Structure 1
């Protein structure tokens, strides 16, 4: 059964929709053949049945024969056909090539300050049009793309042993406070801790047999950061060390960390005995896009499923289906972040990093549970 999302409207991403210019502004742009307004609106000529972009070099039509549209789709729905000269539907160089050109420019000047207006000039588009097309094509805005590239360079500098301050400014971040805010949101720890592979962090872990096989759970003082399934304890601890190579790893005992012991018990009750999924505090660590995917997965009701493409639509990134699938595959917190509820468009299981048998078992268990009993239990507010 496909999931109904009408109850989660408050979680959907708000889109910034640019209004059409005034009629006089549109007429002035057409008269000036203003290329910067391409994409802000389209105009059709009723005597020819053709619609164009503002910069089109075609012979000017009489003002009374013009009709204005907010999108090429709207013009075609009104039975206008696209102009072969200006290609208003975005075919040819007016489409992907311009966006790639902008992306390459950002990559080559990642440490420089740039504005949307400057990038729009490079693309020969209006700022609003560039913003919309870039997000549709790449899943993020030009600014978010630049920030991601800066963060990648920053992380690499830390790993290579650069000082934090040097890494901040060499990566293009303008201030220390800026990168600390970005770093905390994207990698879930301070820059110094990341440079040292989590050194200074205490991560408590434990292993437990469950109905899905051996499970390892680990947590920081912020919450659960790791839930993995495997065949033996050694391989699970190796995976934990790969995620946090220099963190202080501490084996849990009920005496020292009763919360973690209780959390594992609650998750095992959910997996093996059909208890509600425990609503535990989570320390999620990923990119801004991955966090958006994972946050939305937390809103899906047990027993419901959706496809990767539906998930992309509901986070406001309809063309980022592959990126959505990648975010699901990189989920480190199994079951608690329910990526198992995402299927292929044809209804088949798709992938699952802990094996399709576990994915099928989880889905079967959730389908069999009475729907009125599916309510998460409150998490403990105490830390480890």
Structure 2
């Protein structure tokens, strides 16, 4: 895993709790490794090494700090993964019930989940539901059937929450982007290449592990064109706002879902008048959590 050691040092020096679980810090002079938020006195920068997790630090010969207990972070990761699986299985779950299921107090677990993934449990559930809605549009016989198959109890909820993320009408999406012109670009991220594609309405596809060929296969009836420098700059700006990678000890599918949702949330911060001027409208699905 590539690690930005300058950012890691800043997080360690400031005892940033949000960095816990993203990496561990090994102190060469003491032979121990710590959480980034460890309350112990900070050594000089040339006395520390950064590892992606406790296993790597142990393999390098370091032992766990008895003050900050970095190995306990694994319990938190397990709880977050269990909660994410519950959201995937059951849809939106009230925070109280979600936290109880994994053995944490609700307020503490809300902070823990966001610190681990970069998004709240509600935002993560929203991302899963949007994914189901998109899959259902292709699989069901009508838009109405797709709406209910995705878990919505009324069409109005779909049109308020998920439809703005399509970048086109649901009917056009069902018919392979018929009548749409889609421009796309690729952005390098800490989780790999990211496809960022948009129509005149706004972003229609934001996905890790896809490229222009995958976009053309998804929208065979659309006109697909490479984006220009303006689109690329916008996409880079949004990714920079969103990129606080989820913990490396979480399953890849959880990390990818959370990261892509964080990008949609970051789109809401782009001011009106910015190129791709409908991006903020397309990303406005859902309110504050």
| TM-score using structure 1 length | 0.37
Query: Higher RCO, 1 or 2 (CA under 8 Å, sep at least 6)?
Result: 2
